[in-house]
């Protein structure tokens, strides 16, 4: 057996749900230690990042889900902190009936991943900005994530239940390196989504607002402008919206 074949075999032994080759390995009990260590570490980081999702699904279900991920789409990232992201991407792309109970589990998982991710996002290399203006192109902090939700997973009742909430959550990192969240109603969500897209599409704030109003079928009237002003103030004072891109 070549070295590459040996390494592939050990990887299978560590990651498969039922390690069929383990029993035939010389010193199987000792290789079993590696299986335990590898799996414990991979499980642990998913549990840390997705603590509330795990609570919602139940420990056993969550564990089975991670086991299935390891067996079918083994981790590829070298960065330990990115493992929960790979797991969530797999869950999102895979038929996972267990994610249907409770109904909010997928929203919770995406929200928790956003919280986990903004803490690590690298602010170095962010583009230079100037003061915010409606003519400028908006620029958001890289340490922020927009999550569409059908449930208000940022808040839980004492019994663990979560209310339905049609909107979005804007998760961001504070100056003190903690993650916080702004709830966005459907109109605010449409505005923020357009503003965030405006940065890469090189559209002005005004254009973004017009597109959001059109998509929502609302007029740009006094009421919308007042609401928009309040929203922008919140985004700017929290540093989620950094200003506008330098020309």
Binding interface with another protein (CB under 8 A): 2-4, 6-12, 14-15, 26-27, 30-31, 33-34, 37-38, 41-42, 74-81, 83, 118-124, 142-143, 173, 177
Nearer to another protein, 158 or 177 (CB): 177
Tally Cβ neighbours within 10 Å of residue 27. Answer: 8
Q: How far is the CB of 182 from another protein (least distance, A)?
A: 19
Nearer to another protein, 9 or 203 (CB): 9
Nearer to another protein, 32 or 227 (CB): 32
Q: How far is the CB of 178 from another protein (least distance, A)?
A: 9
Q: How far is the CB of 8 from another protein (least distance, A)?
A: 4
Which region, left, alpha or beta, applies to residue 142 given φ > 0 means left and ψ of -120 to 50 means alpha? alpha
Cβ distance 124 to 185 under 8 Å?
no
Whose CA is closest to 17, among 68, 75, 56?
68
Nearer to another protein, 9 or 234 (CB): 9
Distance CA 44, CA 62 (A): 12
What angle is formed at CA 228 by the lines to CA 222 and CA 232, rounded to 5 degrees? 150
Nearer to another protein, 75 or 136 (CB): 75
Q: How far is the CB of 132 from another protein (least distance, A)?
A: 22
Q: How far is the CB of 155 from another protein (least distance, A)?
A: 24
Q: How far is the CB of 206 from another protein (least distance, A)?
A: 31
Helix axes 222-237, 186-201, angle to 10 degrees: 70
Nearer to another protein, 119 or 180 (CB): 119
Nearer to another protein, 75 or 152 (CB): 75
Which residue, chain included where needed, has tokens 């996972």? 96
Pairing of strands 129-130, 144-151: unpaired
Burial category of 157 from C-beta neighbours within 10 Å (exposed 0-12, middle 13-18, buried 19 and up): exposed
Which residue, chain included where needed, has tokens 């003190």? 176
Whether omega for the bond prior to residue 102 falls within 30 degrees of 0, making it cis, is yes
Q: How far is the CB of 45 from another protein (least distance, A)?
A: 8
């Amino acid at each position: 057996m070549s070295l590459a074949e040996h390494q592939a075999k050990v990887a299978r032994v560590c990651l498969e749900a039922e390690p069929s080759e383990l029993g035939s390995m010389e010193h199987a009990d000792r290789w079993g230690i590696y299986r335990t260590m590898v799996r414990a570490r991979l499980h642990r980081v998913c549990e840390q990042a997705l603590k509330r999702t795990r609570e919602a699904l139940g420990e056993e279900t969550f564990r089975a889900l991670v086991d299935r991920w390891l067996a079918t789409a083994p981790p590829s990232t070298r960065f330990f902190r990115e493992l929960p992201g790979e797991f969530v991407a797999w869950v999102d792309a895979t038929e996972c009936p267990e994610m249907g109970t409770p109904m909010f589990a997928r929203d919770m998982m995406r929200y928790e991943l956003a919280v986990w991710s903004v803490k690590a996002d690298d602010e170095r290399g962010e583009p230079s900005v100037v003061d915010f203006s409606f003519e400028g192109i908006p620029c958001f902090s890289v340490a922020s994530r927009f999550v569409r939700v059908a449930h208000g997973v940022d808040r839980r009742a004492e019994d663990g239940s979560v209310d339905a909430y049609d909107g979005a959550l804007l998760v961001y990192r504070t100056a003190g390196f903690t993650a916080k969240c702004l709830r966005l109603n459907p109109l605010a969500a449409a505005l923020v989504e357009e503003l965030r897209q405006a940065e890469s599409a090189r559209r002005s704030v005004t254009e973004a607002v017009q597109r959001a109003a059109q998509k929502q079928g609302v007029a740009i009237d006094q009421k919308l402008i007042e609401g928009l002003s309040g929203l922008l103030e919140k985004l700017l004072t929290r540093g989620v919206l950094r200003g506008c891109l330098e020309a």
